[in-house]
Structures are given as structure tokens and as C-alpha cells.
Structure 1
Amino acid sequence: MTDLGRRGLLGLGVVAALGACRPAESTGRAPTPKASPGAGDVRRDTAPLERRFTLLGRLSAAHWLDYPLGVDSRFSVPGPTDVRVVGIARLRAGKVAAIVKARRPAFRARVPNLVPHPLSGFMPPGATWVRSEAFDSEITRDAYDGAFYLDPDSDHVYFDTTNPTPAPGGGPS
């Protein structure tokens, strides 16, 4: 074996460091989470939503998605991941009208944007959506980001949230 010297040793260190930086080989263990959902990912259960959005009460006809944000890069760093929870659900008859009436000055006509394609077929036709940032804050308790669009005519809510946490008590009112 020859004497590598300082430069040779430094060169070997650089080669070793570069080799450690290449993407890992697939082990077949767990699939990489998707950046955008597909039609087969639409959920219909209401209990997880009712625990998070208690002010809405009992929900029915729910169609929603939950998926991680920002993990579609093979260079993403492992660790906490933001989760988008977005969907549409029906409230009890008259509940949306009661919510809007109680807080009328705060609500303004607003149309949801960036509705994920798998949910677009579940949006009520001709909906007259209204939204209130004060109501958003009331539902989220300022613990996470969220927007809630209400349609008094069809008793639907469209929600788009990031990292929604269960409310204290965790059940609908």
C-alpha cells in the first residue's frame, strides 16, 4: 500500500461524502406519499371530520381527502409533514342557514378555488357559497389554517384545511 498523503486522504473523504449523498436504492418497504390524490383516495367517513369541526355538528354525505403536502420530491427531508384535509359534506337541514344568520355581517360571497379534481363531481351545482374569516377562526380555534365555505341552499360545507387538530371534547354539538 502506498502512502496517500494529505491530499490523497482528503480526496478519498470527498469521494466517500459524495457517494453518501446519492439517492438511496429502493428497498420496496414503503411507497413514497403522493403529492396529489387520485379518485380512489376519496374518503366518506364523517367521524374524523366531526371531531375536528365540532361547530358544524353532525355531517352526512361527506367526500374528502387527506394527503401529505410537499413530499413529492426525492430530496425531501424526513420529519413532520403538513397534511391537507379538504372536502365537502352536508350539514343537518337548516344548520348552514342558522350559522350564517347568527353571523350574517361576517359572511361574504366567496367561491372555493383549487378544488381537487377527485372532489369536483361532489360539489353541489349552482351553489351560492359564502365565507367568513371570523367563522374560519372560530372553527379552527386559530390552531391551524382552514377555510370553510357554506351554501345555505343545499346545507353543504366545503372545507380546505392544513393540519386540522381535533377540538377539545372532540365531538359534534
Structure 2
Amino acid sequence: MGHTRVLAAGLAAFVSLAPLTSCASPDDGANASGRCSVRTDRAPLEKRFPLFGKPERAHWCGVVLGAGDARVPGPTDVRLAGVVVLAPGAFARVVRDLGAHPVAAAPERLPEEIVEFLPRGAGWRRSDRLDRSVSQGRYSGSFLVDTAHRAVLVDCVDPVPPAH
């Protein structure tokens, strides 16, 4: 393959992966220490998770994964974790997409800054169907639902807005 083709292929790969880092960056409160600054702005969530509509409340953060490892070149992966409280109509759509047979689930290894925002006594449930519905297969993630609080626990890597 000639130099021009290699450069073109590299540029195409970079451009296609660039949106993956747009969720959060060190400037957005994510940092290399694995800690994060809690955010409450909802517009980034509305853009990435249209199924959620316009959330009533949100506490979320971005954590840079693999930071400080110079052996891994390329785009930075960002984990987005948070609790999103939905309006009744949007929550009904999420519950519909949860399906008839969700399974009990417990939050795992959440950033400690997010744990304090988990609803007390939450009964989290999840399904592969909901995970696929929200992510559309474009990134990895899990979405746990608590029906008592109309809450969704988001935990995903490099969430990108859905394709139009």
C-alpha cells in the first residue's frame, strides 16, 4: 500500500473514531486518576440517549480509561457513568424497551462520586434488550432501571449519538 493510501486510511480511522472521545474529556471533568467531577447538565445525555427524552435530573461523570499507559496509542476511551431520573413518558418508553423478563442487577464498580446519587432502596433491573435499544450496538454499555424512582443507571464506554 502506498504512503498516500496509508495516510488516507489513517486519517479516515481517526475521523471515524473522533466522536468516541466527544462524550467527555479531561476538560469535561474526567481525569487520569480514575476520579471524576460530577456533572448535572443534561444536554450531552439528551444527545447521546434520545430514548431518555428530557431528563428531570441527572448526576453523571466521565472517567478516562487507560490513562497514563503510553503503550496504548490512539483515541482515549471514556467511561460515562451516572444516574438519570426521567420524565414519566420517557420512563414508560424505557420500561417498554426493558421487556417482559428483566433480571435483577446490582451496580458494579461505579465511580464513588456517583454512588451517593443512587436512590435509596433502589431495585435495579436490566435486560440485553434495553442495552441494545439504547446503544443501538454502537458502543458497550449497560442501563439499569429502578421503577420506584423512574431512574436509569447509565454505565457505558464511548457513547455516541445514534445515527440518523
Give distance in 2, aligned partners of 1:95 and 1:156: 11
Given that 2:51 and 2:90 are in contact with CA atoms closer than 8 Å, whether structure 1 keeps it comes out as no
Report sequence identity in percent.
Answer: 35
| Structure 2 CA distance for aligned equivalents of residues 76 and 35 of structure 1 | 17
Q: How many residues align?
A: 136
Aligned equivalent of 1:58: 54
Q: Tell me the secondary structure at the aligned position of residue 160 of structure 2.
A: coil
Cα distance, 1:62 vs. partner? 0.7
| Structure 1 pair 102–148 and aligned structure 2 pair: CA distance change class (3 A) | closer
**Does the 8 Å contact 2:97/2:129 carry over to 1?**
no
Offset at residue 98 of structure 1 (A): 5.1
List runs of 5+ in structure 1 lacking aligned partners.
Answer: 1-29
1:9-158 to 2 correspondences below 5 Å:
33-38=31-36, 41-73=37-69, 75-93=70-88, 95-97=90-92, 99-101=94-96, 103-158=98-153
Q: Shift of residue 71 of structure 1?
A: 1.1
In structure 2, the gaps of 5 or more residues are 1-25
TM-score, length basis structure 1 = 0.70
Give, in angstroms, the shift of residue 118 of structure 1. 0.5
Q: Flag the structure with larger Rg.
A: 1
Q: How big is the alpha-carbon RMSD for the aligned residues of Structure 1 and Structure 2?
A: 2.2
Distance in 1 (CA, whole Å) between partners of 2:50 and 2:112 is: 26
Whole-angstrom distance in 2 between the partners of 1:103 and 1:162: 20
